[in-house]
Amino acid sequence: MRQNARRTTLADIARAAGVSVATVSKVVNGRSDVAPHTRTRVQELLRQHHYLAPVLRHTGAVRTPTIEVQFKGGLTSYVAETLEGIIDSAAELGASVVISKASHAPHWARDLVSAGRRAVIAITSVYTTAHLNELARSGLPLVVLDPLHLPDSRVNSVGATNFAGGLAATRHLLSLGHRRIAYLGGPAMAVCNQARRHGYRAAMEAEGARVPDAYVLPGEFTYETGLLGATALLGLREPPTAVFAGNDEIAVGVIEAARTRGLRVPEDLSVVGFDDTNLAQMAAPPLTTVRQPLQEMGGAALRIALRLADAEKVESHHIELATELVVRVSTAPPCEETREASVRG
């Protein structure tokens, strides 16, 4: 048998049969809700085009779908906890998960289909229009977990209430008596970072607290951003008495920057993080932070991916799970001399 120069995709079969990709997917996966004459026509085209069907494991009559999970960058605490949620839910629902670094090599989506993947979950990865077009042509649904950018209408996504989390973190610091509060965040254009920053500003404005331009710094969601950003903030003529960090890794960098300047947390500087990863509990001191339900978010992304792989409709393109402030010991009222300076400022 002569091998095709280009592997046939579900979209190719759908065009040839004059039906939707969802209908072809149902035939491939043995769904019963397809008219008999349509099923016969699609099956004949699958044979003619030598379509390589998704690889499915069989345990009796149970068919196990395989979901590709991609992430960008290192295996951080954030990624590890979302992966745990995805894997636990996959085990519960009888699905398989393959984890990889996002690469987007030529024909990557088509290769995923040929390898038996039924859907893609991306953890904070960036997908261009070209990537989305290739996914659409391949018939692979995409679910983005905690998107960095506003997703295309063709993309389903799962996130958290970032604005509410930023509001709660800042209100907590204000309730302790802080007025000189800085925000040290992630990428300026990242949607989650913008929402957290807007929550911070809303709380500050509601309290009538001044926000100097130097108190709001973008960066990356990394320890290095916390270290370098806090060094700049603490070197100001009027340094902040508290820092709200865009995630836990940044917050740990802030604590280290304070330590190298001989400052104590929380006596001299209060610090709040975001995510509530394991890092928050292991920090010294343990970190007050905004909890994102990362494992639950991973589980929600997995369930949506399975529904889309089965050509089912979902109620919303984007869902948000609630955040919660977790108070530990990295925050305290400002000491008397900084309190007086804060009131004057």
Q: β-strand 324-326 against 242-245: which pairing, if any? A: unpaired
39 and 178 in a single domain? The answer is no
The total number of residues written for the chain in this structure: 345
In this prediction, residues 219-232 reach a mean pLDDT of: 97
CATH assignment at residue 32:
1.10.260.40
The H-assigned helical ranges of 208-222 are none
Query: pLDDT per residue over 187-208, tens digit each?
Result: 998 889 999 999 999 999 999 9
Q: What is the pTM of this model?
A: 0.78
- How many Å apart are CA 334 and CA 4, to the nearest integer? 70
The residue type found at 58 is H
* Cα 34 to Cα 17, 119, 153, distances in angstroms: 13, 21, 27
User: CA geometry: angle at 17 spanning 11 and 18, to 5°?
Assistant: 85
285 and 232 in a single domain? The answer is yes
241 and 166 in a single domain? The answer is yes
Query: pLDDT per residue over 55-102, tens digit each?
Result: 433 334 345 789 999 988 888 899 999 999 999 999 888 899 999 887
- How many Å apart are CA 237 and CA 219, to the nearest integer? 22
Domain limits at 15? 1-53
- How many Å apart are CA 150 and CA 15, to the nearest integer? 30
- How many Å apart are CA 123 and CA 82, to the nearest integer? 8
142 and 271 in a single domain? The answer is no
Beta bridge partners of 272: 244, 288
Whether residue 44 is predicted with pLDDT greater than 90 in this model: the reply is no
Is residue 272 within 8 A of residue 245, CB to CB? The reply is: yes
47 and 6 in a single domain? The answer is yes
In this prediction, residues 171-188 reach a mean pLDDT of: 97
